[in-house]
Amino acid sequence: MVGAVIDLFCGVGGLTHGLILEGFGVLAGIDNDPSCKYAYEQNNRTRFIEKSISEVDGRELNALYPNNQHKILVGCAPCQDFSQYTKKSRTGTKWQLLTEFSRLIREIEPDIISMENVPEVRTFNRGEVFNNFIQSLEQLGYHVSHSVVHCPDYGIPQQRDRLVLFAAKQGVIKIIPPTHTPENYRTVRDVIGSLPPITAGGHWEGDSMHAASRLEDINLRRIQHSVPGGTWADWPEELIAECHKKESGESYGSVYGRMEWDKVAPTITTQCNGYGNGRFGHPEQDRAISLREAALLQTFPRSYQFAPEGQLKFKTVSRQIGNAVPVALGRVIAKSIKRFLEGLHERQRVRIII
């Protein structure tokens, strides 16, 4: 086991799963959303603690860590307050969870910390929240580094940019170099092209997650006139919504759109199962992408289960998938930490020999 990890704001376990795949032992995941418990424990075989971070005490987490392992704390504080998708309304209080993350770091003093979030976290409230977080780490003696990751550069098949922060007391952790270039980005076709065809409102008997939302008659007609990469401007006049005909609606070109087979997908959001919520139309079938397709584009394994058989709820699972850290990004974070630890151990070995 490379190190012992506790995952804050763990959700259904995207970050946890990436860490486990790279050999880290994850002691527990903490989240206040009870709907995530089944998927987290079922797929990761580790403990889910249903609790708000504000109610967690550092002493109870310290008690989970073994004495002979690097103590690692990771997490992705809910990003709705920071995200560009909600920038018109910044009245939320979820940003305060970053302060709670900072408090737990002070109480635990882990060897290594990693945080994943949207890039906009750096400029929220004129940068005050993020800068305070970094200053609190530096005051505790951590070396802090952070960078914005363009997810396709690491084999994640969607237009997603994420900020990844590392902190360690024994040196600077740098993110591993990109593994892909635009010439070999993983595309929608690479990831979901082999799944059996289904209809809107239908599902594949071999996988309850490969199910698509129903479409109202007008939306079925709209998607029948949609082309990959196109917009609602491709439709006949009678199908165009009144709000899109207004000047204010002209900028919403990606809603009611189809994905393109040979490009990366758009950012998978919590409403990714809805055709009208973004460019979430299947490239050729007349439907929105299925829950399984959304999960695959978030790089969850095809075997990942989100709900017990017969208890699948579209809205809940769609939210879980959209909120998750892509598993492949979890692996990038894990590999970066692993490379740092290997270098640290090598330097310690050399000093011992000398």
Q: Which residues are catalytic?
A: 79
Per the CB < 8 A criterion, the answer to whether 29 and 13 are in contact is yes
Name the maximum alpha-carbon separation found in the chain: 80
Q: Say how many Å lie between the first and final Cα of the chain, rounded.
A: 27
Per the CB < 8 A criterion, the answer to whether 341 and 2 are in contact is yes
Exposed / middle / buried, residue 167 (Cβ in 10 Å: 0-12, 13-18, 19+): buried
Structure tokens that stand for 316 in this block: 């809940």
The b-or-e profile of 11-30 (16+ CB within 10 A means b, else e) is bbbbbbbbbbebebebbbbb
d(CA 288, CA 277): 10
Shortest CA distance to 66 belongs to which of 141, 6, 8, 140? 6
d(CA 256, CA 177): 35
